[in-house]
Amino acid sequence: MLRYFTITLLFYLFTAIPTVIAQQENGGGIIRSLLKPMPGQVATAGQIKGSPLLYEDWQWADLYLTSEEAPLQVWVNFDLVNETLLVRINDEVQGVLPGKNWFEARVNGMDTDVFRSQLEDFPDGIYSIIYRGKVTLWKKLRKTLDGEPLRQAFQMVTVYLLQPVQGKCQPVELSSASIAKVLPQYNQAIDQWQRKHGNKRWTETTIIELLRDLTSI
């Protein structure tokens, strides 16, 4: 039994691992050809509050360049002003992947932290999954630089998109009426849910709770 295990392990080491390395090297070559030069730092004359980036530091991610191929393991961040993906392969190779290129990034291997650059008929950008069940709720992430000179700040702008099981994504607001318009089959259940929970303040968390309860019916 031990001998069989040893032979199996050696077979894996000499076949599977070189294959994975080759896939990474080939994929690394592809992404190198797609990357654009990293832009310079955003001008900070005066005092600008906040950052154009989603994360404070680089995040480890599985990066898919097509939906059919294996992912690449790279470091990523998101420039929400220019709506682009920042990629770092190593200390020497880093750049920008424009939103016109399809990609899906799963940050830290989490199914809950999934980002895409394109979503059906909507403009290229950075889209994040915030709920996935029988329906999917997406959030388009973007930042703008607002305020008067010397007192500017980066502000997050969000657009929510609800994707039914069958049908296209549709923009929704954080309200029961907006959800009911996209999911008319749940109108009665939405009314019952609202009566049960009273006058809740409609936030992103409230909508996720509603969708979770509706789609568990």
Give residue-wise pLDDT tens across range 23-41: 444 445 678 888 888 766 5
Sign of CA dihedral 121, 126, 62, 205: negative
- pLDDT for 192: 92
- pLDDT for 59: 95
Please provide the average confidence, as pLDDT, over all residues in the chain.
Answer: 81
Asked if residues 79 and 52 have their Cβ atoms less than 8 Å apart, the reply is yes
Give residue-wise pLDDT tens across range 37-81: 876 654 444 578 889 999 999 999 999 998 778 899 999 999 999
Tell me: pLDDT of 13 over 90.
no
Is the pLDDT higher at 14 or at 148?
A: 148
Is the pLDDT higher at 13 or at 54?
A: 54
Give residue-wise pLDDT tens across range 133-184: 889 999 999 999 998 777 889 999 999 999 988 888 999 999 999 999 999 9
- pLDDT for 28: 59
- What is the pTM for the complete model shown? 0.78
Q: Which of 126, 127, 129, 119 is nearest to 84 (CA)?
A: 126
Residue 11 pLDDT grade (very low, low, confident, very high; cuts 50, 70, 90): very low
Give 19: exposed, middle or buried? Use CB within 10 Å, 0-12, 13-18, 19+: exposed
Is the pLDDT higher at 2 or at 114?
A: 114
In the Cβ-directed half-sphere of 200, how many Cα atoms lie within 13 Å?
19
Give residue-wise pLDDT tens across range 76-125: 999 999 999 999 988 777 899 887 888 999 998 767 789 999 887 788 89
Any idea what DSSP says for residue 199? S
Q: Which of 146, 124, 137, 148 is nearest to 52 (CA)?
A: 146
Tell me: pLDDT of 14 over 70.
no
Nearest-angstrom CA–CA distance, 204 and 173: 10
Token duo for residue 101? 């290129």
Nearest-angstrom CA–CA distance, 10 and 17: 11
Residue 4 pLDDT grade (very low, low, confident, very high; cuts 50, 70, 90): very low
- pLDDT for 151: 81
Bridge partners for 64 per DSSP: 104
